[in-house]
Amino acid sequence: MAKDKTLVILAAGMGSRFGGLKQIQPIDKQGNFILDYSIYDAKEAGFNKVVFIIKEEHQELFSETVGNRVSEHIQVDYAYQKLDQFVPFVPDGRTKPWGTAHAVLCAKDKVQGDFAIVNADDLYGKDAFQTAANFIENNDRTNTYGLIGYQVGNTLTENGAVKRGVCEVEDGVLTGMVESSVQAVGDTIVCKPLSGEKPFEVTPDHPVSMNMICMHSDFFPYLENHFTNEFIPSNAADLAKGKDSKCECLIQDVLMAQAKEGQATIEVDPTVAEWHGVTFKEDLPSVVSYVEDAAAQGDYPTPLWPNPTETMVK
């Protein structure tokens, strides 16, 4: 009997570079969003529940759009990422969320067993979801996680630099990750570490993280302890800045900390999928074109879901 698999979608962030709430930007003539295609691919791969991590004020918006229409096809639940959760205080004036690790932690009461996290504004591709489902199905080891590794050349846009976790891998196991701004410059792919370290070059097939990670709910106690007892104290100086406080706790940093402590193993499972997403508003036409072509080739039905919304691509 196949395992239950939950898809956890990080959807609390506003798309500042795109200029709005890009998670619910229609990408086809039926008014479907990137979220719809990710959920469809996940369901086809064997996932049977989806949890949206959102801002509480977006609940009605998500329910009326993607939530209600997919709930007839897959179990749907919501978790709220709130600024005052799991923190002793909120710096005066701070509005910036606490990062992806905090977002996942906010879903701890909604997720039991095996799950995979994805970003709301990334179209990951069928092979990636099948790779994730296969990892979950075949993994029975405690504290062993699966990072779906993309070839960096399959994750770039012509419209600017993108943030990627550039992976260091030995014998299929993640040993390090450099969060970088990545861009193709001519025939060269240049990675500029967000830490300010010296830029470096990689080949098109170098593995990167797109934040698609397979985990188990037994990770939550470690995650909560790390966030409250390590991240918060170690960022006391930044928290003192109040509205200028910018520190974030990233899920990959927590996983790497657990691995370096010898408490976890992060396997890198490669995918040949091509990423499509809307990092910049100029990316939208190419995403629309991609889903049109994929539907024409029979990869997706038209309409994607019965009774699609009336929202149309303009």
The percentage of the chain sitting over the pLDDT mark of 70, rounded to a whole number, equals 94
Residues 6+ apart with CB under 8 A from 20: 14
For the cut 70, the answer to whether the pLDDT of residue 3 exceeds it is yes
Taking a C-beta distance cutoff of 8 angstroms, is the pair 13, 106 a contact?
no
Dihedral angle computed from the Cα positions of residues 177, 90, 111 and 39, in that order, rounded to the nearest 10 degrees: -70
Task: Give the pLDDT score at 17.
Answer: 39
Q: Residue 90: pLDDT band by 50, 70, 90 thresholds?
A: very high
Q: Residue 170: pLDDT band by 50, 70, 90 thresholds?
A: very high
Note the helical H segments in 211-269.
220-226, 232-234, 236-239, 251-260
Could you tell me which of 135, 157, 175, 142 has the C-alpha nearest to residue 270? Answer: 135
pLDDT in tens, 234-269: 999 999 998 999 899 999 999 999 999 999 999 999
Sign of the four-CA dihedral 85, 57, 235, 164? positive
Q: Residue 21: pLDDT band by 50, 70, 90 thresholds?
A: low
Angle separating helix axes 34-45 and 126-138, nearest 10 degrees: 40
Q: What is the mean pLDDT of the chain?
A: 91
Give how far Cα 92 sits from Cα of 55, 87, 136, 249, Å.
19, 13, 41, 19
Calculate mean pLDDT across residues 138-167: 95
Q: Of residues 65 and 264, which shows the higher confidence score?
A: 264
- Domain regions of the chain by residue span: 6-296
For the cut 60, the answer to whether the pLDDT of residue 310 exceeds it is no
Taking a C-beta distance cutoff of 8 angstroms, is the pair 111, 136 a contact?
no
For the cut 60, the answer to whether the pLDDT of residue 19 exceeds it is no
Domain 6-296: which CATH class?
alpha beta
Calculate mean pLDDT across residues 187-204: 96
